[in-house]
A and B are shown apart, each in its own frame.
Chain A
Amino acid sequence: MQVVKKTPFEPGRRDFRLPFDLNGMTLVLWGTAALVAVALLLPVVYLTVRALGAGSEAWQGLFRFRTLETLARTVWLAVVVTGASAAIAVPLAWLTTRTDLPLRRLWAVLTPLPLVIPSYVGAYLFVSAFGPRGLLQQILEPVFGVTRLPEIYGFPGALLALTLLSYPYLLLTVRAALSKMDPAFEEASRSLGQDAWGTFWRVTMPLLRPALGAGCLLTALYVLRDFGVVAIMRYNTFTRVIYVSYTTFDRSQAALLALVLVAITLFFLALEARVMSQARHFQAAAGPVRPTTLVALGPWKWPALAFCGTVVFTSLVLPAGLLFYWLVRGLGAGETIPRLELAVWNSVLASGLGAIAIVLAALPMAILVVRRPGRITRLLERLTYSTFALPGIVIALALVFFGANHVPQLYQTLPMLLLAYGILFLPQAVGAVRASLLQIHPNLEEAARSLGRSPLQAFFGVTFPLLRPGLAAGASLAFLTIMKELPATLILAPIGFKTLATGVWAAVSEAFFAQAAAPALLIILMSSLPMTFFILNEQRID
């Protein structure tokens, strides 16, 4: 079906139209977008102000060989982690949506779950399990006499932890794209003589490019931003350099370095734009899609099962199990856990409100990007991503700067914390809503308009109900990401506002592990709730 791109103004047409329709819908869309843009610009403005105050030493520091080397290592880590995540996520997505893998539904639910594990907890647990004198070594020692495993610290550990904890996001994106892909493409390929394997590479993968592109971008940026894992794994990335600057109270240098991260982000965005320019036309079939013929795995199902099992075990069962073990061991040794009801309530409150706010902000952005493509919206989209590589402490300090000095009434209140969450996690939500919106044909709204509804009415009456699954998905994602968040919460939350994440940090920084295990397990459990419902819903639609 041909979707003719609409241009707002076509030269040569007899009637002159404004480039936009002045109505309630437009005002809402552009108004919200403007507000969101202002919010997103705050960190960049703050960084620029601070960077301007940097002396020549700071600039010299920037161009030191060591700094550049760290930059290279960071980008390298991002690239390798993204590649590894794709190498795990794409086969998992394919196996759970396109084949007759045994226990498919179970794998479909389990494989994205590692998303609920906070990165600082996960890294810790991996070290505990695989470290030189960790759990694995202790298990192997009596049997194989292994007294010391090779060091997991450094690049291997960072790669392992970051990959296992971020592949789920890519998995969800690719899986959603796969389940909405018109099976006719793959069937056409088969009817033209291409076997299942060839079809996958020549047809399925290219058609997945939009989803992969978006997912890989976010994964790479997330690696750039991460501090928890690389700190624990002692791999020196750019965020560590920034943190070192903060420990020397040199905010100007830190700001300068943070701006470098923004520059890298813009570079990645440009890269992604090139990859995506062709792919913009690969929109999936609008409307219900016939379920695909499943590929029969035959004897390949054993390696496939082994693969799924290994991934789920290492990324989910092992960390959760270890946490549980710590909890039980600590309790058994007489440790007590502090009362957590307040932390639970605060976490749910902050995550819930934050998720709603983020999705509400993401919706207009997504609509603009999908329905009103153009230069301004592309710019807006870039802006949304521009701060995604900045570590939480930078965003938090930006808001401290603006909050304490200009809006003291809002400073250290929940709304400001929610604003921080919004800046931190908006791109994820925009991505989820956008993917959902792409499935809804604009004809539906146009039909409503032709029947006399205003644009706003058409939207709420027709598109919004269809969008609900996508909005729920975006909200679930935001909910669990906020629940894990640490640095901004520590700095910006109202004094005494303890969340489960701050509880984990407080305990871990004193090496009280049973104390850390309880809130960590709670984070995982409570994030798993929306996650599981969301996945089960997705399955039901399939």
Chain B
Amino acid sequence: MKFNLRVFLLTCMVFSVLVLTACGSAATPVPTDVPTDVPVESPTEAPAEEATATSAPTEPVTDGDAPADGGALVVYSGRSEALVGPIIAQFSEATGIQVEVRYGSTAEIAATLLEEGANSPADVFFAQDPGGLGAVAKEGLFAELPEETLAKVPAEFRSPSGLWVGISARARIVVYNTDALKPEDLPADIADFTDPKWKGKIGWAPTNGSFQAMLTAMRVVWGEEKAKEWLEGIQANEPKVFDGNAPIVEAVGAGEIEVGFVNHYYLYRFLKEQGEGFKARNQFLTGGGPGSLVMVAGAGRLANGKNEANAIKFIDFMLSTVAQQYFAGQTYEYPLVEGVNTQGGLTPLAELKRLEIDMVDLDDLAGTTKLLQETGVLP
């Protein structure tokens, strides 16, 4: 009897394992639904929030064992595999350079880079936000990029010392529920959301990197005091707290809240999945204040990397038309290179009244965190 039980269980399990394993395919996943109210925060850190990618099939880039041109290029990426995997694969195909990518959250990857220091095996750091780039730059781990590379993007989107360069940009916007609000109802400046009439209607994600970048911009542009007042003012309006941007957009669409402070590209993903009937739209605040922040995701070359030429090729590729179009078309981000158009009805970057700030000024994350902790928004 016991023998039979074990054999039976064993067979069941092996069978299930085989079924699950075998029913995978080589195609890139196409997400079609988002379960309600499920937080998107990754178990290790505030999630890499990106719009989804639906592009050409992926070749696994992670089993490179045939070195070429000085060995495989090692990239540490704070951006998720689902988003940048395809474009990295295209780079490999186009150049024949093998790429090995380590994925993780920006904070983990940056912390790892900092611990590794000069002994890091990484050649390129592909970051989600300027904070990570700034921290690594401060430690002196980046090497200067060549002028031609740097010149491809406007000056405010790269490090003034040429240590890193922005690759694509995202804008802070306010997403609003179309049933409850019209564009005219929304203020032009984010500071006005402290008005009591917004009580109970706001959603935010204070652990999210982009939100924190916005807050850093507030501190820089408004000063510590006013930034603190803003935080306290929003707190007084009892905002709903979320772990990431996607749930905020979803909640807005469902009518649970009326406005949310998020990045622009989430809406497009929802629109794609749920169609034009999705009851939310973006509003870029026209006031030009910190609420109109545009931030970059970017990359830099590690000074101690062993693959200098290929690293530069990689970054150049990301700034090439092909890649920039990928970012525009697949992830709905703003391309930074001249001549590449935005897609999906996005207002081109040049026409946005965005906050005048250099990316490099956004790297005092520590101070922002302290402020968030002081006001009790963060633990």
Contact = CB atoms under 8 A, between A and B. Distances in A.
A and B touch in the complex (CB under 8 A): yes
Interface of A: 64, 66, 70, 120, 124, 127-128, 131-134, 227-228, 231-232, 234, 236, 240-241, 243-244, 246-251, 326, 329-331, 333-342, 344, 393, 397, 400-401, 404-405, 408, 411-412, 486-487, 490-491, 495-496, 498, 505-515, 518, 521-522, 525-526, 528-529, 532-533, 536, 540
Given A337-B25, A510-B82, A408 B119 contact: yes
B115 A127 contact: no
Contacts of A334: 30, 32
A510 B50 CA distance: 7
A511 B117 contact: no
B147 interface: no
B347 interface: no
Contacts of A120: 43
A340 B24 contact: yes
A162 to B, nearest CB: 14
Contacts of B277: none
B102 interface: yes
Interface residues of B, number: 81
Contact of B24 (A128, A338, A532): A338
Nearest to B373: A66
B365 A248 contact: yes
B14 to A, nearest CB: 8
Nearest to B34: A511
A63 to B, nearest CB: 13
A47 to B, nearest CB: 12
Contacts of B37: 127-128, 131-134
A540 to B, nearest CB: 6
Interface centre among B35, B45, B102, B368 (most CB of A within 10 A): B35
Nearest to B106: A247
B29 A338 contact: yes
Contact of B40 (A227, A243, A508): A508
A495 B62 contact: yes
16 contacts: A124-B38, A134-B37, A246-B108, A249-B131, A337-B23, A338-B26, A491-B108, A509-B105, A510-B47, A510-B48, A510-B50, A525-B16, A526-B17, A528-B13, A529-B10, A536-B5
B10 A404 contact: no
Interface of B: 2, 5-6, 9-10, 13, 16-17, 20-21, 23-48, 50, 52, 60-64, 74, 80-83, 100-105, 107-108, 110-112, 114-117, 119-121, 131-132, 135, 209, 241, 243, 246, 365-366, 368-369, 373, 376, 378-379
B44 A393 contact: yes
Interface centre among A249, A401, A526 (most CB of B within 10 A): A249
Contacts of B50: 510
A367 B259 CA distance: 62
Contacts of B39: 124, 127, 232, 234
Contact of B241 (A234, A411, A513): A234
Contact of B42 (A66, A128, A509, A513): A509
Contacts of A514: 29
Contact of A326 (B35, B108, B121): B35
A400 B76 CA distance: 14
Given A131-B37, A498-B62, A506-B80, 9 more contacts: A243-B45, A248-B366, A333-B32, A335-B31, A405-B117, A509-B42, A510-B48, A515-B29, A536-B6
